[in-house]
Structure 1
């Protein structure tokens, strides 16, 4: 049985799980059954197997101050290890599974991502690039309105994007800005819907019927507080979302779907009367989204997976991850700068539309586009 090493996360962000498991569904059509090994990209030492994944689980709730996980990983990398346990060196295929890949902000750039040097430059090159490397579902992550020029203008970012794209035998991106950034760095890559749409075909999932409105609240409308936004903007979005939810809850069953503990705390504070859902199991999230009638969310992958199952979705966000939704039918998407002024009209439009009936043809045509690329890459080895 072949072994596939995924550069992803483990019990960190259910969106990453959706992407990885969607890719797994595609890979089964390309290489047959395989063993999946996951390296936690935020703690690259987990590539060594053994006790490192255990340490990762034990320290998951410890904040990553001064980038201690990367520092520990670099120190460990200098030690001799057991090659037989190395997840990357013993794989038949390496897949960078989704995630924002192209960004530059005030505190970080894609050129300084913690896994690239340790896993690719130092480790993958050790085997003379003999193991195929694929980059699937890569995306951009810039403040909404960015044209990506700040990423391309950065010499380090440009060199990193050029190098990683050159090393990969296949690259797909999930949004138009990511495609343009990579193009300006010298490469033409295809834009395909995020592979998370295929998680809905994973074995063992039981879909439900339309029972409630799925609601997801992210303070500030996204993962980050970008320069130019602040507490007042976040307060306005909270007031807008809260008013909308209370109005909906008077006439519709609702469920707050929380992707992390911060969202649980916010939902409990704002809407103690509305049931909440939070889990460490990605399958459970697919199932709760499958049982919704429609969804109003800020989690991009929640929106994408719900839409892939025929649900109508309103997605509100504050960065270019919103563009991921443009590739998937059934999603109304809005930047939070517009949404905080009110989303009543969009919600009424959402609730007035029937569920999508023909997601099967969208999923199948997208699958065939992926399989054509992946089979060609696999057969060229």
Structure 2
């Protein structure tokens, strides 16, 4: 007999965990120990649920690698006792956390699904209940006692996405997230439809390894017409930065001004890892397609391909934290490690 899936719900903070005080109208943190009382629909799910909450729930604007490590550690400590994990998280930085967890949880072979909401769980029109219930259902999906989803996902408004492919695109609509460079993994309608061909397939029988060392000595430079030479010099000659993401135009294009190219080349020679990511919402970097990016390729700028800025930040922190040798760094970054790039 196949046992009922056992799901761990991890509450970190965010709008989804708030209820409105009827008398004062103020929002306060939800007591997740009374989850089944507040959301009786959860009793209808074919799984058992336990909950863990951060001692002090945090706004996702305060999310940082320390908290990413806390979430990863909770999952690691409970990995053998549960069949799936649902992380409740504020939506503003959810894509960053989903990306970071995908790198931190090496050899992950169970579902870790992040979700949240645009309206508090106690609001009359809330999207929190549907997001929560379906995320738990997604984490509970099994075939012959084995999980269907075996990666870090992000569920929001009827769609499950690969977490490290997502970007928050809207602060007001219920459809807050999109994965523009990779198809969604599953969709919730009358039935749960899973796009099995797009699911991550981890190496079999590998032990989960936590990789929580994240080096935050990185920066992001978004190019724009008229960008100042002194500002670029201050960033590219800084001794504090080990890795820099440059958000370029279109398919990876940048100004061909001699001073700019020389600054990049000198910085790379001095050991700075520079990653080229497009500032377009969708599409990919293709250095060398145009003259305005061929020089970047020649001087050794790393191609981010179709990675999101959020995933590029997490991957850069992760690889720097793992002390990847300089001569291997470019090759490893340009390789898809967790399905974060094509």
Tell whether the structures are fold-level matches, with TM greater than 0.5.
Answer: no
TM-score, structure 1 length as denominator? Answer: 0.23
| Greater fraction strand | 2
Q: Which has the higher contact order (CA 8 A, sep 6+)?
A: 1
TM-score, structure 2 length as denominator? Answer: 0.25
